[in-house]
Amino acid sequence: ATNQIYSDEGMWLFNAPPRKLLKEKYDFDPSPQWLEHIQKSSVRFNSGGSGSFVSPDGLVLSNHHVGADCLEKLGSAEKNYLRDGFHARTREEELRCHDLELNVLMSIEDVTDRVKGAIKPGMSADQAFAARRAIMAEIEKESMDKTSLRSDVVTLFEGGKYHLYRYKKYTDVRLVFAPEQQIAFYGGDPDNFEYPRFDLDICFFRAYENGQPAKIEHYLKWNEQGPSENELVFVSGHPGGTSRSLTMDELEYKRDVQFPFTLERLHRMEVLLTVFSARSEENARRAKDTLFGVQNSRKAREGGLAGLLDPELMNKKRSEEQRLKSAFKDSGQYDNALAAFAKIASAQKIIRQNALQYNMLEGAAGFNTHFFGIARTLVRAAEERGKPNGERLREFRESARESLEFQLFSEEPLYGDFEQVKLADSLTYMTEKLGFENPLMQKILAGKSPRDRAAELVFGTKVKDVAERKRLYKEDKAAFESSSDPMIQLVLLIDAPARAVRKILEAQDELKRQAYGEIAAAKFAVQGASTYPDATFTLRLAFGQAKGYEEDGKQIPYETTIAGLYERSAQHKNQPPFDLPPRWQERKERIDLGTPFNFVTTADIIGGNSGSPTINRNGEFVGIIFDGNIYSLVLDFVYTDAKARALSVHSHSITEALRKVYDAPDLVNELLGKN
């Protein structure tokens, strides 16, 4: 029984850290205090990303591209914070984000037995799903009532384990500092997922409580030295999702259906947003963060699909699965685990048949406008509220209510023309996919062209107005049914089929969860339990070395310097996207060009880790994760340290830039504890 963990692999649970690996390879033994300190210094950005506390006064550091959502929403035609950057020189100047929620993990509790115990033999898939949903909602509600902490039951090992995560929540989060996007995302799409790099991908926020900067016990001390070559470092953050333990059937589904489908949609959206952006500077500002997200996903998915189409990778995965099945067979005790593979395949077949309908209606790929999502939340809230907590659609469970309302009542600016363009395109897309003659499609279009229908919906709905949302949120189902709001009527039109297809998928997901549970249990028995589950946008600990790699026969050093930034700009005649912000051009002479800028490590990361602190043995901040290189895009399916690397911004380049480029000694002093 060998545990298939290689070198620096793993996105480890904080309650099951890789003690043996660390001890053997690095002679490092993390103490409980060390682990607690790192855990509580780590911050989850619920908009999708990671960060860390870096001062006792609630200062939080994340990536610019994680903060971009907030930067865009705070901006206007007159104030383009994304382009120009932002710096609050006093606490009063700090700007409150519209709808940014930060979570800090306070405790983990294993509730596997309780969750699994709710599933009784002989239950149908629908019954089992309902029972599992109910017990999870109950555990969460109990926990929240008891601790007042945000409480989420997290499904690990695809259903092998269930842990209760309790979070401290911050919803008063203010923007402190951001550089220009041009230096944060220097090199743009061409350099995204590439290395060497020269990006100052940082953004500072401050968590507030009761109108005052939060007092933070656990925060990371700043280490300007950064990591030396081959030094052991840790990454503590929230990898969004990986697919490493999926069966070959599921990987083939991803290769044949899911990735191509997603990429088709991303290509379409990228063109739409690029065209919209080219029309005017203000359009570009409004669409910028969305466009970045689309381009980033497109490049990541392309790399992922290339991995799935790479015979070497797939053969490796196939052999691993064969080895596992052989081990099950050899032991003679795991017929149920062996049978689970076929169960997953048959569930997956049903999912495949329903995926398009699900994506369009429940996934709302056909209704790409914020107004649809808002209207649906309002309509469904009225219905779900009337049900017992355990029977509601999971997003309406009691323990999630505060966070849901926080998002629903966000005052973020929304622009009709942009919403119309997105909706018109997605209605066209849905017409193409479901077919013009589809009776539901005919009702959705209501005898109009997609363009006219989108205009009617976007400019006719009143849910743009937050006061109206608050009013509607108190209404009952009957009030919505008699509403003349066209978007609400659209939501009602598709709600029954959307719920129906969701129910089908929930049942199949439940069957898969059970099957994966069987496989996981057998795997623990055969290989030992000392492993890590696929990523779930919950806190994980990764580790590795600061280390370069070889590419096309050339050695790529582990770190770059600020001098390299100026060289790259000169090579490209300072043309976009390789142009420097004016401040960086003007202040070149002041800067110590030898300052390390970005560096790479072998740590195991994936999307969602953006903004994670890179930490040394002493628990000090030495850098911040902002990207992976192109070889890291297969980490979704398999870990490799041959050429795959995680990219960090070096701690020293941050303080150097704050001092010399941005005249921000206040921030530097706060980071260095000199206030």
Cβ–Cβ under 8 Å, residues 630 and 243:
no
127 binds its own copies (CB under 8 A): no
280 binds its own copies (CB under 8 A): yes
255 binds its own copies (CB under 8 A): yes
Q: Assign 3-class secondary structure to 343-408.
A: HHHHHHHHHHHHHHHHHHHHCCCCCCCHHHHHHHHHHHHHHHHCCCHHHCCHHHCHHHHHHHHHHH
> Taking the complex as a whole, how short is the minimal distance between the CB of residue 311 and its own copies, in angstroms?
6
- Of the residues 84, 110, 189, 383, which one makes contact with its own copies according to CB under 8 A: 189
Cα separation, 432 vs 331, whole angstroms: 51
278 binds its own copies (CB under 8 A): yes
Provide the residue count of the chain: 675
> Taking the complex as a whole, how short is the minimal distance between the CB of residue 279 and its own copies, in angstroms?
5
Instruction: Give the angle 69-498-494 at the CA atoms, nearest 5°.
Output: 95
Q: Where are the alpha helices (DSSP H) in 53-195?
A: 64-74, 81-84, 112-117, 125-147, 181-184, 188-191
Q: Supply the angle between the helices 335-357 and 311-331 in degrees, to the nearest 10.
A: 140
Distances in Å between the alpha carbon of 72 and those of 78, 83, 175, 205, 269? 12, 10, 12, 15, 19
56 binds its own copies (CB under 8 A): no
551 binds its own copies (CB under 8 A): no
- For its own copies, the closer CB: 327 or 445: 445
- For its own copies, the closer CB: 554 or 573: 573
> Taking the complex as a whole, how short is the minimal distance between the CB of residue 87 and its own copies, in angstroms?
25
Pick the stretch among 49-57, 71-79, 185-193, 623-631 that binds its own copies (CB under 8 A).
185-193
428 binds its own copies (CB under 8 A): yes
Residues 6+ apart with CB under 8 A from 670: 54, 55, 57, 59
- Of the residues 96, 169, 218, 268, which one makes contact with its own copies according to CB under 8 A: 268
Pick the stretch among 74-82, 261-269, 602-610, 631-639 that binds its own copies (CB under 8 A).
261-269
Residues 6+ apart with CB under 8 A from 496: none
Pick the stretch among 30-38, 147-155, 302-310, 383-391 that binds its own copies (CB under 8 A).
302-310
Q: Where are the alpha helices (DSSP H) in 309-334?
A: 311-331
Cβ–Cβ under 8 Å, residues 181 and 82:
yes
570 binds its own copies (CB under 8 A): no
190 binds its own copies (CB under 8 A): yes
| Stretch 441-460: interaction string toward its own copies, x if CB under 8 A | ------xxxxx---------
Cα separation, 40 vs 43, whole angstroms: 8
Q: Which of 479, 494, 355 is nearest to 427 (CA)?
A: 494
- For its own copies, the closer CB: 436 or 478: 436
> Taking the complex as a whole, how short is the minimal distance between the CB of residue 341 and its own copies, in angstroms?
18
- Of the residues 20, 91, 215, 279, which one makes contact with its own copies according to CB under 8 A: 279
77 binds its own copies (CB under 8 A): no
Q: Which two three-digit tokens encode residue 49?
A: 């990303």
- Of the residues 306, 356, 414, 593, which one makes contact with its own copies according to CB under 8 A: 306
> Taking the complex as a whole, how short is the minimal distance between the CB of residue 104 and its own copies, in angstroms?
38
| Stretch 208-247: interaction string toward its own copies, x if CB under 8 A | ----------------------------------------
435 binds its own copies (CB under 8 A): yes
Residues 6+ apart with CB under 8 A from 573: none
- Other Cβ atoms less than 10 A from the Cβ of 200: the count is 31
Tell me the number of residues near its own copies by CB under 8 A: 39
Pick the stretch among 48-56, 429-437, 512-520, 562-570 that binds its own copies (CB under 8 A).
429-437
> Taking the complex as a whole, how short is the minimal distance between the CB of residue 283 and its own copies, in angstroms?
9
- For its own copies, the closer CB: 31 or 436: 436
Pick the stretch among 110-118, 341-349, 430-438, 532-540 that binds its own copies (CB under 8 A).
430-438
Place of tokens 């926990």: 143
Cα separation, 58 vs 53, whole angstroms: 6
- Of the residues 107, 530, 577, 643, which one makes contact with its own copies according to CB under 8 A: 577
Q: Name beta bridge partners: 86.
A: 178
- For its own copies, the closer CB: 273 or 658: 273
Residues 6+ apart with CB under 8 A from 39: 14, 105, 218, 236, 539
Chain contacts with its own copies (rule: CB under 8 A)? 188-190, 252, 255-256, 260, 263-264, 267-268, 270-271, 274-275, 278-281, 298, 305-306, 309-311, 428, 431-432, 435-436, 447-451, 572-573, 575, 577
